[in-house]
């Protein structure tokens, strides 16, 4: 399923400032004045991914420190994170609000997993990077978010130049967070966890908002009935500080939903809408599973937890991602 929503196009395109001169000889030429488009801040590679070795970007030593030696099962025997050498870079996200670069990796295998690596950018670095990517387009206007048309040919000039930028900005010394999604329950459950990476490379489990502080892994169980949401409990562990306005959990179990009052259904639907709104919630305020399933529990389709990447080989671009991207474009074009 390709989740595509009509995005609110930013119509008042303005000039973006010139980026600072390139620091390396092999870097692309300084960009011209160009407006930022969504595909400049959210780039989806074809499913085969980028031609960049993942351990160039995410050091193996940090990965092992974070999640244990290769094959180490996680809490409750949930799966080990995928090996770095089985991952490919499938997407790039630039967040000017946080001055952050996010790289999305998924396995070459049929595992429905993902690894996200977050890099801190220098002040103004997000704008600089987005402008350089925009300049690489050479004035070509791209359509709605989709696998990047200029990356369809992985050996093309755009691909080569983009790889150079990724290597430059995804500085392992600036790696700040690594998060992981694994699938278990024979493809019916998804596990979310991660680490914050200190300047010294030390890894600290990410505190997941609304969950008990001692718990650093959250799971979503869709249930064993194909095409239905029957997991009970769907979310593990139970949130302890979840605002009732943000409680969409009723939507995650069709049996309970069928027995619920109209008021409770309405409240849960409103919660899903709030969670899908980046102006209301971020990863600092809502738990991983709620955010990753907010669209799923409303759409009543096959389970897909990938916000910007691939769902069993099919492009997956969730509505929340489109809103986040539009907000980033707006910010970059109006500042």
Partner 1 sequence: MKLAVVIALLANATLAEARLHQDGYDTPTETHVELVVGLWHDDKLTPDHGWNHYTFVAPTSGYVAVQMRAPRDHATLWSYLRVIDGDHNWAAVANRVTNLSEVVVAVERGHHYDIIATSQRNATLEPGERQITDGPYTIGVVPIALP
Q: Compute the least distance from the CB of residue 290 to partner 1, in Å.
A: 15
Q: Compute the least distance from the CB of residue 54 to partner 1, in Å.
A: 24
Measured distance CA(132)–CA(59) in Å, rounded: 25
> Is 155 in a helix, a strand, or coil?
coil
Measured distance CA(129)–CA(96) in Å, rounded: 10
Q: Compute the least distance from the CB of residue 182 to partner 1, in Å.
A: 10
Q: Does 329 bind partner 1 (CB under 8 A)?
A: no
Contacts 24+ apart (CB under 8 A), 134-140: 134/16, 134/31, 134/34, 134/35, 134/36, 134/37, 134/40, 135/19, 135/28, 135/29, 135/30, 135/31, 135/32, 135/34, 136/28, 136/31, 136/161, 136/162, 136/165, 137/34, 137/37, 137/39, 137/40, 139/34
Q: Compute the least distance from the CB of residue 77 to partner 1, in Å.
A: 3
Residue from 46, 47, 172, 185 touching partner 1 (CB under 8 A): that is 185
> Is 332 in a helix, a strand, or coil?
helix
Angular region, 99: left φ>0, alpha ψ -120 to 50, beta rest? left
Q: Compute the least distance from the CB of residue 220 to partner 1, in Å.
A: 10
Find out whether 311 and 304 touch, Cβ atoms under 8 Å. Answer: yes
Residue from 106, 164, 184, 321 touching partner 1 (CB under 8 A): that is 184
x/- mask, partner 1, residues 200-229, rule CB under 8 A, reads -----------------x-x-x-xxx----
Question: What part of residues 72-101 is at the interface with partner 1 (CB under 8 A)?
Answer: 73, 75-79
x/- mask, partner 1, residues 225-264, rule CB under 8 A, reads x----xxxx--xx-----------------x---------
- Stretch binding partner 1 (CB under 8 A), from 7-15, 18-26, 179-187, 309-317: 179-187
Residue from 23, 186, 214, 262 touching partner 1 (CB under 8 A): that is 186
Report the interface residues with partner 1, using CB under 8 A. Answer: 73, 75-79, 184-186, 188-189, 191, 217, 219, 221, 223-225, 230-233, 236-237, 255
């Amino acid at each position: 399923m390709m989740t595509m929503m009509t995005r609110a196009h930013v119509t008042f395109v303005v000039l973006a400032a010139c980026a600072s001169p390139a620091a390396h000889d092999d870097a692309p030429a300084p960009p011209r004045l160009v407006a930022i488009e969504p595909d400049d801040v959210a780039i989806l590679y074809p499913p085969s991914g980028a031609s960049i070795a993942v351990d160039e970007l995410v050091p193996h030593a940090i990965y092992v420190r974070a999640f244990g030696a290769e094959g180490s099962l996680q809490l409750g025997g949930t799966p080990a994170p995928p090996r770095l050498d089985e991952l490919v870079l499938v997407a790039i996200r630039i967040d000017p609000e946080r001055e952050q670069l996010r790289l999305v990796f998924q396995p070459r295998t049929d595992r429905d997993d993902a690894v996200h690596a977050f890099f801190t950018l220098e002040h103004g670095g997000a704008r600089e990077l987005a402008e350089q990517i925009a300049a690489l387009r050479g004035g070509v206007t791209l359509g709605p978010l989709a696998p990047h048309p200029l990356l369809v040919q992985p050996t093309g000039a755009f691909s080569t130049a983009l790889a150079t930028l990724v290597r430059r900005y995804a500085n392992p010394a600036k790696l700040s967070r690594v998060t992981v999604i694994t699938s278990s329950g024979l493809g019916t459950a998804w596990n979310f966890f991660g680490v914050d990476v200190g300047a010294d490379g030390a890894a600290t489990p990410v505190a997941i908002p609304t969950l008990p502080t001692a718990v650093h892994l959250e799971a979503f169980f869709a249930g064993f009935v194909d095409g239905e949401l029957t997991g009970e409990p769907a979310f593990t562990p139970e949130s302890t500080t979840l605002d009732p306005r943000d409680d969409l959990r009723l939507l995650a179990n069709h049996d309970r939903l069928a027995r619920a009052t109209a008021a409770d259904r309405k409240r849960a639907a409103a919660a899903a809408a709030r969670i899908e709104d980046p102006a209301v919630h971020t990863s600092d305020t809502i738990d991983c599973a709620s955010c990753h399933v907010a669209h799923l529990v409303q759409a009543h389709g096959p389970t897909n937890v990938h916000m910007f990447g691939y769902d069993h080989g099919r492009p997956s671009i969730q509505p929340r991602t489109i809103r986040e991207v539009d907000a980033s474009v707006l910010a970059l074009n109006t500042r």
